[in-house]
Amino acid sequence: MKDASYFKNKLVTLRHEIFNRSRQIDADIRHVGMTTDLDDQAIELENDEVLHALSATSEKELLMIDAAIRRVDSDEYFHCQTCGETIALARLELLPFTNLCVSCAEKRESETAYS
């Protein structure tokens, strides 16, 4: 069985990757090194909406990872924050920052879809 330190290392590595990606996205949003060609500038500006969405997603992921690291440190990582049941290791491998078991995640998703 994988222990908490394995997942904490996985979370820290993932956080580092997302943080670096976020920095690059922010540089792209600020148009650091933007070309002087007006046609190229227009294309770059059209991508801003996508870049802003990616930036928001990265920020949300960083918050979720930080919360997961805190759960590791407080010995709450392997338990669903809603029902308290154990979160399957396969789920934590795929989504190491998740705080819900499959059942509770499905319930939340169906509630969100129908509201």
CA dihedral 12, 14, 16, 17 (to 10 degrees): 170
CATH of the domain at 9: 1.20.120.910
Residue-averaged pLDDT of the chain: 89
Instruction: Domain count for the chain, please give it.
Output: 1
The pTM assigned to this predicted structure is 0.80
CB 63, CB 99: distance < 8 Å:
no
Dihedral class, residue 100 (left if φ above 0, else alpha if ψ from -120 to 50, else beta): beta
Give how far the C-alpha of residue 14 lies from the chain's centroid of Cα atoms, to the nearest Å.
9
104 — pLDDT class (breaks 50, 70, 90): very high
Contact residues for 31 (Cβ-Cβ < 8 A; gap 6+): 41, 44, 45
Report how far residue 91's alpha carbon sits from residue 65's, in angstroms, rounded to the nearest whole number: 15
102 — pLDDT class (breaks 50, 70, 90): very high
